Structure 1
């Protein structure tokens, strides 16, 4: 009777790793994001049970935020944020793109009028809509 072969490299499920690395608050949210096409593993679509190994590249989209990270360590347990940040390294291009998108959103938000329109502004809006 022989013992089962040991795995050549350690791996953990993609949804578990994303949860442990604190990309998502729960494992089920990570699973939903993967099934929704928001996560790519090594430039290919990913499934929740796909094994993540050291050296893999993940692209994760959360709302407006897009991140490209390289897996540095494997963990199946969620720990403190400092330990979670040690599991991956974000690429310089990804950091620059996120900063540019953040600055763009800030500019767009600065151009919007603050708060709700008052009575006079609502009347002007109504007149403008009626004239169209």
Structure 2
């Protein structure tokens, strides 16, 4: 089975096109080597892929006949991604907390005055 089709079947990508694009960009490696989307995958291969700033590592257990449900994915792959990868992403998410919530737009006139008052007090 092709590596792009396998990653789509085990639900790492929503579409085969996304899986193919990731392979072309060099975000997918099989047994430590960058691969083309047409590379064949066999059981016991180790796949590394970078998605959403996480370096996933999986071991191929078996090849699915077609796209499988989320509950059946563990039959076809073993996820050996270190927990530190997920913890680093959580820290990154918390580091992006700002004063204003996302989507609220520019500061209002009152917000601007409050910011000016705050900076004048600290000088």
- Given the two structures, how large is their TM-score scaled by the length of structure 1? 0.74
Shift of 1:35: 0.5
Q: Quote the Cα distance in structure 2 between the aligned partners of 1:54 and 1:75.
A: 11
- Select the residue among 107, 119, 129 that pairs with 2:109: 119
Matched residue SS, 1:61: strand
Asked if the contact 1:16/1:76 (under 8 Å) is kept, the reply is no
Q: Which runs of 5+ in 1 are unaligned?
A: 1-11
Q: Quote the Cα distance in structure 2 between the aligned partners of 1:72 and 1:42.
A: 14
Shift of 1:76: 4.0
Change (3 A) 1:45 1:120: same
Q: Quote the Cα distance in structure 2 between the aligned partners of 1:109 and 1:85.
A: 33
In the alignment, structure 1 residue 14 sits paired with structure 2 residue 3: yes
Q: Quote the Cα distance in structure 2 between the aligned partners of 1:122 and 1:41.
A: 53
The equivalences for 1:11-90 within 5 A come to 12-90=1-79
Asked if the contact 1:39/1:59 (under 8 Å) is kept, the reply is yes
CA RMSD of aligned residues (A): 2.1
- Given the two structures, how large is their TM-score scaled by the length of structure 2? 0.78
Shift of 1:86: 2.1
Shift of 1:63: 2.5
Asked if the contact 2:53/2:89 (under 8 Å) is kept, the reply is no
Matched residue SS, 1:51: coil
